[in-house]
Amino acid sequence: MDYDSLKTDHDDVVRDGADFEAYRRPGALIDSDHPKITDYASRVAGEGSDRERALRLYYAVRDGLRYDPYNTPMRREAYRASTTLAAGHGYCVNKAGLMAAVCRATGIAARVGYADVRNHMTSPRLRATMGTDLFSYHGYTHVWLDGRWVKATPAFNVTLCTRFRVKPLEFDGRTDSLFHPFDEDNRRHMEYVHERGSFFDVPAEEIKRVFSETYPAYFNLGPDAAKHSFAPA
């Protein structure tokens, strides 16, 4: 496959052709009907408007689950929202899928979107592992609020942001929540390079294929190394 064909400069490309009502229904990995997801979403969201409930869900996913780019097995089932909730940690793809699941569980339409980003503050460990500071398939969530899609990025928990002096991503339900280009000390941080489009469900196999093409040195280390994810966001 020519993976460049999956890149676009536009952020409104729907890759799977799903109808709008699909974004209220469970998927295989965005399993919004799982009892633990529905119970968690109901407790966290509470009462109020869609926007008020979405904000509570966002901050619960952002800060209640530790950001961890190293310990998600490269297996499809590891990207299931209920698995991420039970684990209590994940990286951007896991956490975006969980955000979509809890939104759907409370009747708020949601889907997942992806972009390639350049992390100018990549740690030496992560850069050595990947051989680059360009990361494919950074995940975020599109949430349907007040008649339009709004982006939410619940990746970095606030404790991590404080530790590394990265600006936390706030979400008001009206404007897109996207990575900041600079950190608290005005150092270059995140740069969005390409969009990958939006999906009804997490395209886990596609993400794995793209990772194997983009980071061959990592995957050539052998099956044990390739068990784990290494995404930055």
Looking up residue 43, the CATH number of its domain turns out to be 3.10.620.30
Query: Which candidate, 189, 88, 193, places its Cα nearest to that of 137?
Result: 193
* Structural domain containing residue 8: 3-227
220 falls within a domain? yes
| Average of per-residue pLDDT values in the chain | 87
pLDDT in the model for residue 176: 95
Q: Does the pLDDT at position 130 exceed 90?
A: no
233 found inside a domain: no
- Looking at the predicted structure, is the pLDDT value of residue 53 above 90? yes
User: What CA–CA distance (Å, rounded) separates 205 from 231?
Assistant: 15
Distances (CA, A) of 165 to 8, 64, 135: 31, 19, 21
| Mean pLDDT for the stretch of residues 161-188 | 92
Q: What is the mean pLDDT of residues 184-199?
A: 90
pTM of the model: 0.89
Does residue 183 fall inside a structural domain?
yes
- The region of weakest confidence among 35-44, 116-125, 197-206 is 116-125
Rounded CA separation 169/185 (Å): 16
- 179 in Cβ contact with 233 (< 8 Å): yes
Residue 116 has pLDDT above 50, yes or no: yes
Domain-located, residue 202: yes
Q: Examine the pLDDT at 117 and tell me if it is beyond 80.
A: yes
**Residue 65 within any structural domain of the chain:** yes
Residues 119, 133 contacting (CB under 8 angstroms): yes
Which residue has tokens 């993400």?
Answer: 207
Domain contains 128: yes
Inter-residue contact 104 to 173 (CB < 8 Å) = no
Amino acid at site 191: E
Q: How many of the other CB atoms lie within 10 Å of CB of 193?
A: 15
Q: How big is the CA angle at 62 (ends 29 and 185), to the nearest 5 degrees?
A: 135
Q: How many domains does the chain have?
A: 1
Tokens of 204: 């886990």
The type of residue at 4 is D
* Residue 232 within any structural domain of the chain: no
**DSSP tally for the chain: helices H, then strands E:** 8, 6
Which CA distances in Å does 157 have to 68, 88, 107, 113, 218? 10, 12, 25, 19, 26
Inside any domain, residue 168: yes
